[in-house]
């Protein structure tokens, strides 16, 4: 964890988050509610156990949930849902992010965001994690630059722990 840690030159790595920890609840370990990504995202971001037989985002595409993104939006946040996969179509992620109240849903693995270097770092189902993290923080920095006083909830859906299962 980078919380409560300092860089080599003595500057806190996550100063804003460290302050937030003092005002709320912090769990140093988190255990997800499903082995399927979309079910785990739904449970984590909506605060509701996932459907046992299907994926909420695909089975109930019109469902609206007052989840974490919606609540933070009400408190002035910009909420951003991102994936490293090439589209938001898989598991109906775009609709799912909308159902959960995200302001922005974006696939940072789609062609318009990929550089030549990125294209060599795609394997399995999308952009490998280290490259995706760089792309995500550049994306967030640009959003922050446009509105520096607006806090951001950013979510990342990585793909390196996914592969073409046989």
pLDDT at residue 159, as a whole number = 85
Q: What is the mean pLDDT of residues 96-120?
A: 90
Please determine, for residue 142, whether its predicted confidence score (pLDDT) is greater than 90. Answer: yes
pLDDT at residue 96, as a whole number = 85
Q: What is the mean pLDDT of residues 86-92?
A: 84
pLDDT at residue 1, as a whole number = 63
Are the beta carbons of 95 and 62 closer than 8 angstroms?
no
Q: Is 57 helix (H, G, I), strand (E, B) or coil?
A: helix
In this structure, what DSSP letter does residue 85 have? B
Most confident of 52-61, 70-79, 108-117: 70-79
Angle at 117 between CA 13 and CA 138, to 5 degrees: 35
Please determine, for residue 140, whether its predicted confidence score (pLDDT) is greater than 60. Answer: yes
Please determine, for residue 160, whether its predicted confidence score (pLDDT) is greater than 70. Answer: yes
pLDDT at residue 89, as a whole number = 85
Percent of the chain with pLDDT over 90: 35
Q: Greater confidence, 88 or 60?
A: 88
Q: Is 96 helix (H, G, I), strand (E, B) or coil?
A: helix
pLDDT at residue 63, as a whole number = 76
Q: Which residues are 104's β-sheet partners?
A: 80
Are the beta carbons of 105 and 97 closer than 8 angstroms?
yes
Are the beta carbons of 106 and 139 closer than 8 angstroms?
yes
């Amino acid at each position: 964890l980078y919380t409560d840690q300092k860089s080599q030159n003595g500057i806190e790595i996550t100063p804003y988050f460290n302050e937030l920890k003092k005002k709320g609840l912090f769990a140093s370990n988190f255990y997800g509610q499903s082995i399927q990504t979309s079910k785990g995202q739904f449970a984590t971001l909506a605060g509701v156990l996932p459907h046992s037989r299907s994926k909420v985002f695909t089975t109930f595409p019109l469902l609206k949930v007052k989840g974490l993104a919606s609540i933070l939006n009400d408190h002035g946040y910009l909420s951003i849902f991102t994936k490293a996969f090439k589209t938001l179509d898989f598991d109906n992620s775009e609709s799912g992010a909308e159902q959960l109240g995200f302001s922005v849903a974006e696939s940072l693995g789609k062609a318009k965001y990929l550089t030549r270097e990125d294209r060599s770092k795609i394997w399995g189902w999308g952009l490998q994690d280290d490259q995706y993290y760089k792309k995500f923080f550049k994306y967030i920095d640009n959003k922050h630059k446009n509105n520096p006083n607006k806090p951001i909830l950013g979510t990342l859906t990585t793909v390196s722990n996914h592969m073409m299962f046989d």
